[in-house]
Structures are given as structure tokens and as C-alpha cells.
Amino acid sequence: MSAITTRELVEIDERRLLRRLDDLAQRGALPQGGIYRPLYSPQWTSAMELVATWMKDAGLLVRRDPVGNMWGRIEGSRGGRVIATGSHIDTVRGGGALDGALGVVAGIEAVSSLWQRFGRSTRILECVAICEEEGSRFNTNFWGARAIADRLEPGEADRVRDADGVSLGDAMRGVGLDPAAAATAVRRDLDVFVELHVEQGPILEDHGPRLGVVTTIAGTAHLEITVRGQPDHAGAMAMDRRRDAFLGASAMALGIAEAAVRMGHPAVATVGTIVVEPSQVNVVPGLAKFTVDTRHPDPARRGELITQIGDLSKKIASERNLGVEIKTLRDRPPVNLSPRVGDVLRRAAVTAGIEPREMTSGAGHDAQVLTAAANAGMLFVPSIGGRSHCPEEATAAEDVVLGTRVLATALRELAYQT
């Protein structure tokens, strides 16, 4: 089959696109600002119901799979393997209106616009609202994409619990899903998955152009570092005799950040959580436990950064007469996305008059997991101020529209073949 050769940008309903993004942002909106749509919550359910309504209104065949991913489908005239687009519907606590949501709403808009303007596609074309990516309620990052890619762990639904002690399986049952059927959400018929997403960083805004094609998604390691000292009376123990676990952990945190700075962009390292014990105002901390999120797209450099983190933590512990333990909680290697899909996205961007920037994503995305199930590609639009995972997350309306039109144009080339 040969690709569509007509070089014209696909039209969309711009007002409908922007209105739907606003409507979706009301599902889980917090009084203090930002959004929270945790997996299988009432806010999540409301958002999924809204998405299903939009898909049905577009005339798509709608179904919910066994983990709650919502799919809208156009049956292709020649069948074959599926061309899919979408992103995740859940959010971090206090997150923004576009992370994940843009790819969901734009995917529906792109597929429905193609259906309305060009009729039935040659290839099967689907849009999807993926149930979970963030891990903000359960420690299940990429639950929806992992289900599609056959990457769920045995017994995971029964083992994993949220902060209130509710199991993932019970949460599924609460929204009418059977955890025993989760493994049957796997898709073995996908050819392509395309994800439109906000950049979540400052590169496109600072350096341009208005579009980026992602070639690599950085590898991520999550470390847990436990520092053991000695609890003592805050008033009676002399400063020069203390084995303060928190001060040791603080020195390590500063050293870890400095190591990433020395390595240079795109290396990053973030201390995201810390707890101390006994956590009393008048007791020298005897234990401090903190997490490190460290990322780099180059496997060797990422390994080097992890080694540096371990070495400096041990050195600081030795200097301060402290014990230290380092545990790897998660280790995901860098992922290269499909060059073929990247070329299609690049051609669609050029149709819009933009030569897109080739980019590495420091953030994780559903597309990286779905490389195990499909040829995956990603298109970025700018984030104002590089802000994301916060209420201030925003992208200019004209860039939202541009990204959606380019997405639709790429899907036309992929799915409407002669």
C-alpha cells in the first residue's frame, strides 16, 4: 500500500477541541487549584463517562477494556493491524489540565474529524483514553499501557494498595471491572500508536520551533536511600557528637543534585520524598529515608550517574559516622521510538510549515511502554514556562490546535492508504 500523498493539513473543529479540554478539566478540579483524577475514583469515572460520550457522539464504536481503558474505533475497509492514538486520563495530585488530557481529547478530535471529513478509513483507526499512567493513587505507573502491552505482574491487583489500604482489585470492582480479567486487556493487533503531549519542559518555548518529534524517552531509576544515625536529646547532646541522620541525608541530597548538574543536560536527579524518625521536635533524627528519581536517555551515562549517587552517599555517611542503605525501587531503561512513525509525524509537521525539532523526553509516557506492543511515536507541543504537574501547566491555544491538526494529518497518512 502507498501512503496518502496529498499534502494538506487536516481541518478540525477548533472550538470543540478547546471546549472539551475545558470540560474535562472540571472533572477532578480542586478548590485550591489544579486537578486530581486518581485511578478508579469518582472523578476518574466522571471523566471516562465524558470521554465515552464524545466518542459515541462522533459515531465511533466504543468499548471499555478489562482495566478501564476506553477505546473508540473506526472499522477500516481493509482491516489489518490497528492505527491508534491517545494518552492517559488520570492526573497527579494538583496537576494541570493538559498532561495526558491533551492526547485524549486531541485523539478523539483527530479521529472523529477524519471520520467526518473522509469517511471510512482503509486501516482500522482507534483513539484511546488510557486509564492510568501517573501512579498517583496506586504504585502502578503505566497500569493501562502495561495491560495493553502484556506487562502486568501476576497478583498485582491484589498486592498493591493505596494510602487508605484499598487494594487495586477492590477499586476495580468498585467501578464494575473484574481484576481477574485484567490480563485480557492485552492488544496484539496494534501496528502504530501515536501520542500527542505537552512537552512538560522549556526547550520548545525557549528555542523553538512549535513542534517536537520525540526520538527517545529517557530511562528512569527510582532509588530509596536510608540513612541511619542515632536519636538523642535535642537539648542535651552536643552538636559535635551528634549522628544526625537528617543532616546526613540533606548533604547527600545536595550532592546528588550537584552530580546531575556536573554531568549536564539532560541528566536530572530529584529528591522527591523524605521522612525522618522519630520525627519529634526535641529529638535528633536517628533515621532519614528519601527517594531519588534520576534520568538520562543514554544508558551508559544513566548508569554512571547512579554510580555517582551511590558513591557520594557512602562517602558522606562515612564522614558523618552514619549507616546508609541504597535500594533500587524501579529501573526502566531508555526507550527509542519508531523512526517510521517519527518520519510520518515529521512530514505532517512540514505540511503545517514547521520543521520539527528532534527531541528526547525526560518525562515518562505511555508511548514508551507501548513500544512493546506497537510502533510508537510522540509529538510535542510547547509548555508555557516549561511548567507541568502543577496548576500553572498551560499551552497556547494556537499550539494546541496546531498539534491536533498535525496529529490528524499524520493519522490520515497512516490510516487512509490507497
Q: What's the pLDDT score for residue 2? A: 35
The pTM of the full predicted model, rounded to 2 decimals, is 0.91
Q: How many residues does the chain have?
A: 418
pLDDT by residue (tens digit) across 111-163?
A: 999 999 999 999 999 999 999 999 999 999 999 999 999 999 999 999 999 99
Q: In Å, how far are 61, 196, 351, 363, 383 from 100, measured between CA atoms?
A: 22, 8, 25, 12, 13
Torsional sign, CA 21, 22, 23, 29: positive
Residue 139 CA, distance from chain mean position: 14
Which class is domain 219-332?
alpha beta
Q: What's the pLDDT score for residue 6? A: 52
> Residues 6 or more apart from 111 whose CB is under 8 A from it?
58, 60, 72, 74, 85, 125, 126, 127, 408, 411
CA distance 183 to 169: 13
Residue 47 CB coordination number (10 Å): 26
pLDDT by residue (tens digit) across 273-320?
A: 999 999 999 999 999 999 999 999 999 999 999 999 999 999 999 999
Element (H, E) at 71: strand 70-74
Domain with CATH 3.40.630.10 in the chain: 14-217+334-415
> Residues 6 or more apart from 316 whose CB is under 8 A from it?
248, 251, 252, 255, 322, 324
Q: What single string gives the DSSP state of each residue in 362-416?
A: SS--HHHHHTTTSEEEEEEE--GGG--SSTT----HHHHHHHHHHHHHHHHHHHS
Q: Residue 400 corresponds to which cell in the numbers above?
A: 494546541
Amino acid at 6: T
Q: For residue 288, what are the β-bridge partners?
A: 227, 276
Q: What's the pLDDT score for residue 237? A: 97
Q: Which of 147, 65, 69, 75 is nearest to 111 (CA)?
A: 75
User: Taking 80 as the threshold, does the pLDDT of residue 3 lie above it?
Assistant: no
pLDDT tier, 79 (very low <50, low <70, confident <90, very high otherwise):
confident
Residue 418 CB coordination number (10 Å): 8
CA distance 402 to 408: 10
Higher pLDDT, 174 or 3: 174
CATH architecture of structural domain 14-217+334-415: 3-Layer(aba) Sandwich (3.40)
Cα-Cα-Cα-Cα torsion 96, 97, 101, 102, nearest 10 degrees, comes to: -110
Q: Which of 210, 211, 145, 138 is nearest to 171 (CA)?
A: 138
CA distance 381 to 101: 13
Q: Is-contact 82 126, C-beta < 8 A?
A: yes
Q: In Å, how far are 36, 72, 382, 390, 391 from 33, measured between CA atoms?
A: 10, 31, 22, 9, 6
User: Taking 80 as the threshold, does the pLDDT of residue 370 lie above it?
Assistant: yes
- In whole numbers, what is the pLDDT of the chain averaged over residues? 96
Q: For residue 375, what are the β-bridge partners?
A: 192
CA distance 405 to 379: 11
Domain with CATH 3.30.70.360 in the chain: 219-332
Percentage of the chain surpassing pLDDT 90?
Answer: 96
Residue 83 CB coordination number (10 Å): 30
3-state secondary structure of 375: strand
Residue 261 CB coordination number (10 Å): 12
> Residues 6 or more apart from 176 whose CB is under 8 A from it?
none
Q: Which of 220, 210, 265 is nearest to 379 (CA)?
A: 210
Q: Which of 108, 127, 100 is nearest to 27 (CA)?
A: 100
Q: What's the pLDDT score for residue 218? A: 93
pLDDT by residue (tens digit) across 308-362?
A: 999 999 999 999 999 999 999 989 899 999 999 999 999 999 999 999 999 999 9
pLDDT by residue (tens digit) across 151-207?
A: 999 999 999 999 999 999 999 999 999 999 999 999 999 999 999 999 999 999 999
Q: Which of 234, 247, 223, 248 is nearest to 323 (CA)?
A: 248
pLDDT tier, 384 (very low <50, low <70, confident <90, very high otherwise):
very high
User: Taking 60 as the threshold, does the pLDDT of residue 68 lie above it?
Assistant: yes
> Residues 6 or more apart from 332 whose CB is under 8 A from it?
219, 220, 221, 364, 368
